[in-house]
């Protein structure tokens, strides 16, 4: 488990062969407000208790491979709190990911955000 001042990130080990992380706010540690999933296969059933979903395609941290992170999150969490939670998760899980003024984001399809590193 990783814990910051505002958030708790707990690995979700009940599903084999997938990297899933449950996320909670430290003020309410027993309430899962988001689940982050890395490279989730097509057809994976979304958690029903979380109402929103986005997929973020990261720049190629590993040569030839762009990791996808699927984020299921609660409609009840304010956008600024969810934004901070996502940023802390990415900082924790992908410390070599650099987002600079040369980086850009775009929507490649509904619900999919792509981060590009422009040389």
| Chain mean pLDDT for the chain | 83
Q: Report the pLDDT value the prediction gives residue 35, as an integer from 0 to 100.
A: 94
Which residue do the tokens 């027993």 mark?
30
Q: Report the pLDDT value the prediction gives residue 37, as an integer from 0 to 100.
A: 92
| Cα–Cα distances in angstroms (integers) from residue 111 to residues 54, 94, 102, in the given order | 5, 21, 23
In the chain, the number of structural domains is: 1
Residue 23 buriedness (CB in 10 A; 0-12 / 13-18 / 19+): buried
Q: Which whole number is the average pLDDT over 108-117?
A: 73
Q: Which whole number is the average pLDDT over 64-73?
A: 85
Residue 112 buriedness (CB in 10 A; 0-12 / 13-18 / 19+): middle
pTM, 2 dp: 0.82
* Domain extent at residue 17: 2-117
Q: What is the pLDDT of residues 12-28, one digit of tens each?
A: 876 668 889 999 999 89
């Amino acid at each position: 488990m990783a814990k910051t001042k505002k958030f708790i990130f707990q690995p979700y080990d009940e599903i084999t062969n997938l990297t899933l992380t449950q996320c909670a706010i430290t003020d309410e540690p027993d309430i899962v407000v988001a689940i982050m999933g890395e490279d989730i296969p097509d057809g994976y059933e979304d958690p029903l208790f979380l109402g929103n979903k986005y997929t973020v395609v990261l720049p190629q941290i590993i040569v030839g491979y762009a990791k996808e992170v699927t984020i299921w999150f609660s409609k009840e969490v304010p956008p600024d709190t969810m934004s901070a939670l996502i940023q802390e998760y990415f900082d924790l899980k992908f410390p070599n990911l650099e987002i600079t003024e040369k980086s850009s984001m775009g929507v490649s399809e509904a619900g999919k955000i792509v981060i590009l590193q422009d040389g």
